[in-house]
Amino acid sequence: MALACLGLFLALLLYALASGTFQQQRQQQTLAATAQEETERLAKLKAQLLRIESGKASAAGFLDPRSGTAIGNTSGVRYITMPPAPLGTLSVGLGDLHPYFYKLSLRSKSFTLNNEELENPLNLLSGPFDLAFGIVILFPLFLIALNYNLLSAEREQGTLALILSQPISLKALVTGKVLVRGGALVVAAVAVTLAGGLLFGAGAAVFPRLLAWTAIILLYGLFWMGLCVWVNAWGRSSATNAIALSAFWLGFCLIIPSALNIAASALYPIPSRVEMIQSLRTAGKEAQEQGSRLLSRYLEDHPEFAPAPAPGAPPAPAPDFGSITYAVQMEVDKRTEPVLARFEQAIAQQQAFVDRLRYLSPAVLAQGALNEFSGTGLARYRGFQLQAERFHRTWQQYFFPKIFQKAKLTSGEIDTLPRFRYQEESLEAVVARSAPLLAVLTLLSLLAGGLSLASLRKFKRSL
Amino acid sequence: MIRTIAKKEVVEALRDGRFRWAAGLVGVLLLIALAAGTRQFLDLRAQHEAAKTETRAHWLQQGKKNPHSAAHYGVYAFKPKTALSLLDQGVDPYTGVAAWLEAHKQNDFRYKPAQDANTLARFGNLSGAIILQALIPLVIILLGFSAFAGEREQGTLRQLLSLGVPPTQLAWGKALGVGVSLAMIAVPAALLGSAALVFAGSNGDYGAAWPRFAGMAASYVLYFVTFIALSLAVSAWMKTARGALVLLLGFWVVNALLSPRVAASLSQRAIPAPGAFQFARNIELDLARHSDGHDAGKHTAKLLAGTLQKYQVTKVEDLPVSFVGIRLQDGEAQGNQAYDARYGELWNQYERQGRLQEALGVVAPFLAIRSASMGFAGTDFSQHRHFAAAAEQYRRYFIDVINQDIIQRAGNQGVYLRGQDLWSQIRDFEYELPGAGWVAQQRALSLAVLAGWTLASLGLLLLATRRLRLE
């Protein structure tokens, strides 16, 4: 029975690892495909510009292929990509809902940075079957299955008195039993984690992260083992123990997180995206209506970007379509900033509430810490989002002056177009964010351990 | 006899602290979930109504412009919330809430509510559906695991059988007892649910259709009966109450916890679907292919030659129709072909993944009830697709009206502007949710699987009670 349990646990963890690897590989393939598409497109563009420059091809047409509009918006755009999480194979975390790449454009931020991965919503609803799920949700269940009748079974079979008549203390008996049974599961979980991390992780940089994973598994396992001993020391029947431990599991893994989630959404409601879409549209509409006025205002602020008048010609040429469009885009960004900021603030407030209260459930703590050390937590995705926003501005600032001046890009400039480089967050930042989680998890484990030892003493007296 | 046995079971259940606690907790959770669901539904529907009115107003008041600019400005299609979504949100948090309908392009639904949710939302979204699909079975297990095994351990089972109580009657009595105890939670919940539904549907109604509610309720009855029969069968089969409990809890874990994730991951592998990048790239390549390779100029020249020939003229200026309009319409036709093929392919892949998961309901009835429940709630993928298809039809309709206007009236010279008279010629987007019959047809597999589980579990119960006689 115990061996079958261990075997099943190991099999599930291995399947979880395979499933996580599959997800990670899909991301890697996508990133490789974006890089290849970008390289090929830019090479083609460069060749086209070279042909035009050497007079072998004409630049005539709806849009001059050398113009900032053509290059910055379509033919020369780059991808903003975030490399896969260091331990993404172990925990999908928020990776299935948050974008890890964007295709640039000169249009507004809310338009450009609005990429969503395509996935069957049914699969998103079910959630990923990854190692983190195996550890946070399944691991305690297996610990319970192996340990719910530590003492009760012996008592029900009448062997407890017999054993205790031997020269062995109750404490030694129970800790010995729980550590052997639980220890086997812990070893299985750590082994699969280390194997997964070393085989599929991002090289030597993952060692400290794997160490943290191991510590979390140990602490979390210790918590549940302590709880099992404590419930056994109540001296009830095996069936009651099983029900009580299932109730704890249900409480920590489902009911507390759900209750917090409901409270968070009720106390800090997030404004509707539907309303946001409408405000963005209104802002866009207003900006559009003032198109040419916006351009002249922009050129008043930045006279250096005004197109140079041809010698002898009248100074102010009529603004072209491209210039107006981008003056409008900038105005849209400016006007929608407060709407988007309000949105982000509401989300952040709700998240802060949840962050304050997540200490109520060790399962939530463990999941949060595992995500952090995998690189699939909220902070890393937010960080990527901010870097992407900054780079989108860099991209606009590179092209807008060229568009306003009606400058033509040369083939040489294609190689030097701004390039996004993702700044991976430092391990120190990860550790700093996870430290309170780990501290409270340690505290809870010690508490459960202490409680179990104290209750054993009481149990012994009652014998 | 059956009634006496049932009465005894109910009295015992009521005396059992574990049941009182569990039932009380589930009842409170159900109340909270219903209240939160109703509130959310009313909020969302109000927002949806406002947005729908506003997007129409934006469309009508866009002022004088070229009709093609208006087509680019477009409208938004906002996905309506069904009244039954307050019980079962289904995949709604994971599909976008709005699609932009514009010229040339079929856009995806954007803004998944789950993306904005806090990090706990994935952990536990305690909706009415989860309580009904996962927690109620736990209560049933709690009620049923010791029904026979407990009596066997206490020695009363032998007594009962020696008194000549027919085992089948004993089984029916116990099943009835568990059913009545369960009804103490389920009936008030169902009444509250209907009250919420009436309340939610009272002002303007999105398929608060009672047939859907009836279909949903019937599916849950099948599911609960399955669990009652299974619990009793296992209890009759196993020697000890502990053994019965552990086996039933094990089944619960496989059913409610493992099955959805394993089914999702299996279906992703069995029926691969492209990611966002690959999908967009495929369409890009298709579009390029449709317009004679990358040489759009050649395609336009061919189109022009054809048009000139059709109207027996030699110059664009002499055409009685606008060539720009013809080009736009031609582009739409090519685009539609590519979008139909690619979106059709993608959505079929999703539906096949869903069907595979429904079929896996043979192993875990959770998968079947989940799909039946969100089907009747109007929140499954099939109905998302139904709405997305309707929105796309509307897009094609209004782009067509605009392009026809350009073709007929814009001429081939000068600036062509139109105003509200054209904008208001285009009817507003109205969507009608399919009926319960359509849902039953779509979800036939899940309903069959559920019915199969019910029959099989009742058969198992009969088999297990027949074994009792031999003891």
Tell me the pLDDT tens digit for each residue of B137-170: 999 998 889 888 888 888 888 888 888 888 888 8
Output phi, psi for B100, to 5 deg.
-90, 120
Contact list in B for residue A151 (CB cut-off 8 A) is none
Shortest Cα distance from B405 to chain A (angstroms)? 23
Handedness of CA A148, A152, A157, A159 (dihedral sign): positive
What is the predicted pLDDT for the residue at B295? 58
pLDDT band at A278 (very low <50, low <70, confident <90, very high): confident
B14-39 pLDDT, tens digit per residue, is 888 778 888 888 888 888 888 888 88
Distance, CA of B128 to CA of A334 (rounded, Å): 42
Q: What is the mean pLDDT of residues B278-294?
A: 79
Q: Is A258 on the interface with B (CB under 8 A)?
A: yes
Residue B97's Cβ-count burial label (10 Å; 0-12, 13-18, 19+) is: buried
**Contact check, Cβ <8 Å, B93/A125:** yes
- What is the average pLDDT across B182-208? 72
Q: Residue B262: name the closest of A126, A58, A302, A340 by CA.
A: A126
Cα end-to-end span (Å), chain B: 21
Predicted confidence at residue A303, as pLDDT, reads 61
Pick from A213, A206, A217, A210: which is nearest to A182 by CA? A217
Query: Are B379 and B91 contacting, i.e. CB atoms less than 8 angstroms apart?
Result: yes
Q: Backbone dihedral region of A80: left (phi > 0), alpha (psi from -120 to 50 degrees) or beta? A: beta
B125 with A253: Cβ contact below 8 A = no
Measure in Å the smallest separation between the Cα of B245 and chain A Cα atoms: 7
**Does B51 contact A253 at a Cβ distance shorter than 8 Å?**
no
**How far off is chain A from B179, nearest CA to CA, in Å?**
21
* Mean pLDDT computed over B349-356: 97
Kindly list the domain boundaries of chain B, sorted by start residue: 2-470
The secondary structure of residue B65, as a DSSP letter, is B
Residue A315: predicted pLDDT: 45
The span from the CA of B108 to the CA of B105, in Å, is: 9
Q: How confident is the model at residue A306 (pLDDT cuts 50, 70, 90)?
A: low
Q: Which residues pair with A102 in a beta bridge?
A: A80
Q: Which residues contact A194 (CB under 8 A, 6 or more apart)?
A: A210, A214
- Segment 283-322 of chain A within 8 Å of chain B by CB: 285, 289
The answer to whether the CB of A93 falls within 8 A of the CB of B118 is: no
Q: Tokens 């079979």 — which residue?
A: A157
Q: What is the CA angle A250-A363-A13, rounded to 5?
A: 95
Q: What is the DSSP string of A381-430?
A: HHHHHHHHHHHHHHHHHHHHHHHHTT-B--HHHHTTS------PPPHHHH
Share the mean pLDDT of chain B: 88
How far are the Cα atoms of A144, B21, B126, B136, B190 from residue B24, in angstroms, in the given order? 24, 5, 16, 12, 16
Query: Average pLDDT for residues A66-80, to the nearest whole number?
Result: 92
What lies within 8 Å, CB to CB, of B225 at 6+ separation is B179, B454, B457, B458
**Buried b / exposed e along A48-69 (16+ C-beta atoms within 10 A):** bbeebeeeeeebeeeebbbbbb
Under an 8 A CB cutoff, do A260 and B126 touch?
no
Put simply, the chain A residues between 117 and 176 with a CB less than 8 A from any chain B CB are: 117-129, 133, 137-138, 141, 145, 149, 156
- Residue A313: pLDDT over 60: no
Percent of chain A's residues with pLDDT above 90? 57
Q: Residue range B191-213: average pLDDT?
A: 70
pLDDT digits (tens, 9 = 90+) for A81-126: 999 999 999 999 988 889 999 999 998 888 888 888 899 999 999 9
Considering only the beta carbons, identify the residue of B91, B98, B108 that sits closest to A122: B91
Q: Give dist(CA A13, CA B145) in Å, integer.
A: 29
A144 falls in which pLDDT band (50, 70, 90)? very high
Asked whether this complex has an ipTM greater than 0.90, the answer is yes
Distance from CA of A311 to the nearest CA of B (A): 31
Alpha carbon distance A415, A422 (integer Å): 19
Q: Which two tokens stand for residue B182?
A: 């369960």
Nearest CA in chain B to A31: B277
One-letter amino acid at B340 equals D
Question: What does the pLDDT read at residue B318?
Answer: 86
Q: With a cut of 50, say whether residue B198 has pLDDT above it.
A: yes
Identify the CA nearest to A306 among candidates A400, A204, A217, A397: A400
Highest mean pLDDT out of A158-162, A296-300, B427-431 = B427-431
Using a CB–CB cutoff of 8 Å, tell me whether B35 touches chain A.
no
Neighbours of A262 (CB within 10 A): 23
Query: Distance between CA atoms of A372 and A71, rounded to whole angstroms?
Result: 38
Sign of the Cα pseudo-torsion (B224, B226, B229, B231, in order): negative
Report the DSSP beta bridge partners of residue A103.
Answer: A79
Distance CA B280, CA B395 (A): 19
Positions of E strands within B58-207: 75-78, 98-102, 105-110
B265 neighbors A129 (Cβ within 8 angstroms): yes
For residues B49-74, average pLDDT: 88
Amino acid at B339: Y
Query: Does the pLDDT value for residue A178 go beyond 80?
Result: yes
Which whole number is the average pLDDT over A339-365?
Answer: 91
Q: Take residue B17 and report the two structure tokens written for it.
A: 């602290």
Q: Positive or negative, the Cα torsion across B379, B380, B386, B388?
A: positive
Report the gap between the CA of A66 and the closest CA in chain B (Å). 18
With an 8 Å Cβ cutoff, are B47 and A116 in contact?
A: no
Nearest alpha-carbon partner for B223 in B145, B147, B135: B135
Structure confidence at residue B50 as a pLDDT band (50, 70, 90): confident
Give the per-residue pLDDT at B197.
Answer: 76
Q: Chain B residues with CB inside 8 Å of A115's CB?
A: 276
Query: What distance in Å separates the CA atoms of residue B72 and residue B57, rounded to the nearest whole number?
Result: 16
Is pLDDT above 80 for A415? yes
Average pLDDT over residues A139-155: 91
Q: Chain B within 8 Å of A255 (Cβ-Cβ)? A: yes
CA dihedral A226, A229, A232, A238 (to 10 degrees): 90
Query: Pick the residue with more confidence: B166 or A37?
Result: A37
Q: Does B180 touch chain A (CB under 8 A)?
A: no
Chain A 214-243, residues with CB within 8 Å of chain B CB atoms: 237-240, 242-243
Share of chain A above pLDDT 70, in %: 92
* B116: nearest CB among A33, A240, A347: A347
The beta-carbon neighbor of A121 closest among B123, B125, B384 is B384
Beta-bridge partners for B105: B102
The model's confidence at residue A314, banded by pLDDT at 50, 70 and 90, is very low
Query: pLDDT tens, A126-137?
Result: 999 999 999 999
Q: Tokens standing for A351?
A: 């998240």
Residues in chain A within 8 Å Cβ distance of B58: 278, 281-282, 285
Per-residue pLDDT band for A291 (boundaries 50, 70, 90) equals: low
Grade residue B191 by pLDDT with cuts at 50, 70 and 90: confident
By the CB < 8 Å criterion, does B69 face chain A? Answer: no
* Distance separating alpha carbons of residues B361 and B222, to the nearest angstrom: 13
**Inter-chain residue contact B350 with A120, CB threshold 8 Å:** yes
A136 φ/ψ angles, rounded to the nearest 5 degrees: -75, -40
Tell me the three state secondary structure of residue A103. Answer: strand
Buried b (16+ CB within 10 A) or exposed e, B351-370: bebbbbbbbbbeebbbbbbb
Q: Kindly state whether B196 is in contact with chain A, defined as any CB-CB distance less than 8 angstroms.
A: no
Q: Kindly indicate the confidence band of residue B354, based on its pLDDT and cuts at 50, 70 and 90.
A: very high
pLDDT at B248 over 50: yes
Residue A338: the pLDDT is 85
* A378 interfacial to chain B (CB closer than 8 Å): yes
Looking at residue A364, its pLDDT comes to 95
Lowest mean pLDDT among A63-67, A323-327, B215-219, B408-412: A323-327
Higher pLDDT pick, B357 / B22: B357
Q: Per the structure block, which two tokens stand in for A330?
A: 């900038």
A9 — pLDDT class (breaks 50, 70, 90): very high
- The reported pLDDT for the residue numbered B205 is 54
Q: Which residues of A touch B285 (CB under 8 A)?
A: none
- Give the whole-number percent of chain B exceeding pLDDT 70: 96
pLDDT on residue A317: 47
Chain A CB within 8 Å of residue B95 CB? yes
Can you tell me the distance from the alpha carbon of B432 to that of B78, in angstroms, rounded to the nearest whole number?
13
Q: In this structure, which amino acid lies at residue B225? A: V
- pLDDT for the residue B438: 94
Tokens found for residue A259: 């209750």
Answer positive or negative: Cα dihedral of B121, B127, B131, B134. negative
Tell me the C-alpha distance between A159 and A173, whole Å: 13
End-to-end CA distance of chain A: 28
- Name which of A290-294, A366-370, B224-228 the model is least confident about: A290-294
Residues of chain B in contact with residue A378, where contact means CB-CB under 8 angstroms, are 119
pLDDT for res A316: 47
Q: Does A267 touch chain B (CB under 8 A)?
A: no
DSSP label of B360: G
Which pLDDT score is estimated for B27?
A: 87
Q: Name the residue of chain A whose CA is nearest to B44's CA.
A: A272
Q: Is the pLDDT of residue B293 over 50?
A: no
- DSSP secondary structure code for residue A137 in this structure: I
